[in-house]
Structure 1
Amino acid sequence: MKKVKNVSMEMSGMVTYGCHLHVDSTTRFFLFTLITVASIGLFIQIMYLYGDSPGMKAALPAEYSLAGRRIMYGRLFNNVDVSQIKLSNPKPIREKAKFIPYQAFGRETTFVRSNETVNNRSYVIINEFKPKTSGQKYYLYRHPTKISGNFNGNITRHVNNPGAFSVASDRNIYIMSVFGRFINRKTGERSQSKQPDPDKENLLIVLVGWLKYDLFNSSLQCCLLLANDSIVCTPNAKRLIWTQVNKQPLMAVKFFCPVPKELKYSHVKGATMSLVTENCLNKKFAAVEYVKRQAQDSIAVCAKIVYGTMSAQRLIEWFEIQRFIGVDKVLMYFYNVNAETVNVLQQYSQEGFVDLRPFDFPEADTNYRYVGQKDAQPFIDEQVVLYEAMERLQGYTFTAVIDVDEVIYARTSHKHNLKRFILQLYRRCPEAAGFSFKTELFITDWENKEDKGPEMNMFYHTKYQNRTRPLEDRTKNILVMDRIILGSVWTHNYTSLPQYKKFQVPASMGTLKHYRPCRKNWHCFLRRGYRDQTIAGLMGNIKRNVSNKFNKLLDKSTLNAIKENATNGSNYQGGSVQSRPVHKTNNTIFSNKKIS
């Protein structure tokens, strides 16, 4: 018994000795101070984001907010309906207003409106201002329909893309697009009728664009242009903002402008935003687009922005893959692209498969940046695109947000049909708001010695058959559009409505194939490689369509280079996707070992 006790004491002494840490008084004081400051900062952050005390918000600067999150007026964007979040009442637009009953709108007249109740009766404040010219016509800004190849060989140099956005207020507000969204008065339902019923639905005007950071908490007003050329000005009660922790000059923003119930039978053809110090006269109005409900089980792909030295060959292959797996529409924004790529985009646009939209960013002369740059302001510019895309594609049942170097592969569906696959998942998880896919990286820096003959060697997607294991930190999603908050969608995530949930797709059922060079910090030569011929097999089903498109759309010099390299057992690159820098890695893992 005594021996056991001695052994226990020795073991206790060993453990105590091994875990002992000596901290002097100076270090102890420093650690205590650091923990105290961090705790106070966290407490203030939580109080500011979730608290209702106006004194707290007034005491802190507007930029005091968390990094890289969707922010709704200084509050974190949680799983709640956008319609349930409201701003505090803005300052009155006009101090002196006369209470008069609602009157019919006259042509060429501007009104400033806000609802008031007097003696239990509802009235509308109306201030009338006559325009300078009695017969004035208001200009409606619309996106251009033509696309031209204006690539100058350098993606870091800005090239103006006219018509991509309009200036609502000089150096303050920029509008990319405006949409009319009909909302059912009964929450959670959506009208299935072809034409909206004003008695059952309310019209909401949604404007997408950029807002000056200095106007984070400012009061703004919505300017609505009616069919009879009269203008209605209403206070902007809600807006959705995307920003970063480090202050950037511009923020991505969605403005929500409810149309007054008195105007529910009036057609709103244009809209813009303005400061309260401005009036809506002589404004350049953006045309309101009314999105149509698409066929049941329709699926669209948001490909974000194509720019620079985009390979026309790879673009053709990617389009044909999307068409083969069942995609109904591809939404793509173009900026600073080469002439050969323009030819491809125009052809698929004329066929009705691709919806092409121009992209450009404001203040390029004072706020230097370029598309594809990995920095805060370009990420904000990209979020404007996603804001716009989700409004434009809301009529589809499902929407995937992927890039043109990515392919969603359905392993368990016949002929890898994506639409059939999503419907299978939908039945498996009827409460799903979206489906998340793990990413398999096909590293283009790795050595590839595949030789499938000259006919198949022509294709980019048949050359690279070495990939990593499925990764969970770069998921991409297919969204169920009726079950998500449109303004919450970004490249890698989204927020569902409270009654729905996210669904993670097992890698054995489907994954995302991502073709790209290796980044320096990935250490790709240390990763284990896996042989994967799935996309190569898929290309065999569409090789005839792809070859016909090559002969029709590609330049003769490009086509000859592709065929010559295919005969020699290599593959013509046709330009690097999005001009990403290529980092060469150690290829010995594939030359000395058999890939499993």
Structure 2
Amino acid sequence: MKVDKVIAYTYKLNEEAMKVLEYYSSIGLVEFLPFSLPQREKYRRDVGVKNFNSWNDEQVAVFDCQSRLSGYTYTGLYDFDEFIYPKNAKNLKDLLMKLGKLYPNSAGYTFKTEVYATTWGERQNNTIENDLTIGRYNQRGDPMRDRVKSIVITDRLMPGRMSTHGYWSKKPYKKSIVKESYAVLKHYRTCRKEWMKNNGAMCYKLIKRHEDNTLVQVADLIRENVINIMERIKEEMSKSSY
């Protein structure tokens, strides 16, 4: 995607995954920071729990990230199961150049979300070669404006006014909802909790599903890259053990 910097916040991360972050840190792409939950005994919560205290915990990381990336032109805030898919653009930078011309007075670009619900099951004729999530699931819903994510233009934001799903722009700049013909956010997850009410009425019956192999088409290439990096990490670990 041609991004220049990735900041990741780690919480109870396993040793194998930590080795991956350490590798990308060694080549200058990733900066990773430990994340903790202070006074957890007094204020019970955990990562992923949806309550007031957990949202506050998450916002701490958002503000920290915004500060650390303040010198960059663009900042995006995403989870590891979310992927921006640019259409008719070579990569993310190419997309942002095009959006800058399309929305010249924008403080940021908000992408509609396409949910690929793993609850709907794996795609037909799946093979072991497609063991990445993006290669195993290909059913999605329509693009939604619910729980969207954005890429912001850093110096057009009001100070300290960025959250997981939104931001506040300086005047005279505006927010822009990107047309799905330019780009979308592809989110791989289970059916949402509210979709599972009434025996999963929304998840199984009311949500229109589309077969979409967009990311399946690049899964093999990404898998090849993943394997290459795994082998490189193993080689470095074996050298350091002597």
| TM-score category (smaller protein) | 0.7 to 0.9
Match of 1:331 among 4, 7, 22: 7
Other structure's SS at 2:120 match: coil
In the alignment, the residues of structure 1 paired with residue 17 and residue 152 of structure 2 have an alpha-carbon distance, to the nearest angstrom, of 29
Counterpart in the other structure of 2:109: 435
Pairing of 1:440-455 with structure 2 (within 5 A): 440-451=114-125, 453-455=127-129
In the alignment, the residues of structure 1 paired with residue 123 and residue 141 of structure 2 have an alpha-carbon distance, to the nearest angstrom, of 17
Q: What does the per-residue CA deviation read over 1:135-190, in whole Å, with 9 as the maximum and x for residues that have no partner?
A: xxxxxxxxxxxxxxxxxxxxxxxxxxxxxxxxxxxxxxxxxxxxxxxxxxxxxxxx
Task: Kindly indicate which of the two structures has a greater share of residues assigned to helix.
Answer: 2
Amino acid across the alignment from 1:439: T
Pairing of 1:450-469 with structure 2 (within 5 A): 450-451=124-125, 453-455=127-129, 457-469=130-142
Match of 1:524 among 168, 187, 203: 203
In the alignment, the residues of structure 2 paired with residue 363 and residue 543 of structure 1 have an alpha-carbon distance, to the nearest angstrom, of 40
Q: Provide the alpha-carbon RMSD of the alignment.
A: 1.7
Counterpart in the other structure of 1:542: 222
Counterpart in the other structure of 1:487: 160
Other structure's SS at 1:365 match: coil
Counterpart in the other structure of 2:32: 356
Confirm or deny: 8 A CA contact 1:335 1:358 kept in the other structure.
yes
1:510 matched to 2:186? The reply is no
In the alignment, the residues of structure 2 paired with residue 449 and residue 494 of structure 1 have an alpha-carbon distance, to the nearest angstrom, of 36
Confirm or deny: 8 A CA contact 1:409 1:510 kept in the other structure.
yes
Q: What does the per-residue CA deviation read over 1:504-526, in whole Å, with 9 as the maximum and x for residues that have no partner?
A: 10011110000001123212112
Amino acid across the alignment from 2:2: G
Confirm or deny: 8 A CA contact 2:123 2:139 kept in the other structure.
no
Uncovered stretches (5+) of structure 1, i.e. residues with no partner: 1-324, 555-596
For residue 545 of structure 1, report the CA deviation from its aligned partner. Answer: 1.4
Superposition TM-score, scaled by structure 2 size: 0.88
Counterpart in the other structure of 1:475: 148
Counterpart in the other structure of 2:75: 399
1:419 matched to 2:123? The reply is no
Counterpart in the other structure of 2:213: 533
Confirm or deny: 8 A CA contact 1:387 1:486 kept in the other structure.
no
Amino acid across the alignment from 1:446: W
Uncovered stretches (5+) of structure 2, i.e. residues with no partner: 196-201, 235-242
Change (3 A) 1:432 1:545: same
Change (3 A) 1:454 1:520: closer
Change (3 A) 1:497 1:326: same
In the alignment, the residues of structure 2 paired with residue 544 and residue 519 of structure 1 have an alpha-carbon distance, to the nearest angstrom, of 31
In the alignment, the residues of structure 1 paired with residue 166 and residue 85 of structure 2 have an alpha-carbon distance, to the nearest angstrom, of 19
In the alignment, the residues of structure 2 paired with residue 419 and residue 330 of structure 1 have an alpha-carbon distance, to the nearest angstrom, of 14
Other structure's SS at 1:495 match: strand
For residue 365 of structure 1, report the CA deviation from its aligned partner. Answer: 2.8
Amino acid across the alignment from 1:433: A
In the alignment, the residues of structure 1 paired with residue 17 and residue 133 of structure 2 have an alpha-carbon distance, to the nearest angstrom, of 16
Confirm or deny: 8 A CA contact 1:407 1:512 kept in the other structure.
yes
In terms of Rg, which structure is larger? 1
For residue 377 of structure 1, report the CA deviation from its aligned partner. Answer: 0.5
Pairing of 1:568-587 with structure 2 (within 5 A): none
Amino acid across the alignment from 1:519: R
For residue 453 of structure 1, report the CA deviation from its aligned partner. Answer: 4.8
Aligned residues: 227
Q: What does the per-residue CA deviation read over 1:396-428, in whole Å, with 9 as the maximum and x for residues that have no partner?
A: 1011111110000101213xx111001100012
In the alignment, the residues of structure 2 paired with residue 364 and residue 543 of structure 1 have an alpha-carbon distance, to the nearest angstrom, of 38
Other structure's SS at 2:208 match: coil
For residue 368 of structure 1, report the CA deviation from its aligned partner. Answer: 2.1
Amino acid across the alignment from 1:376: F
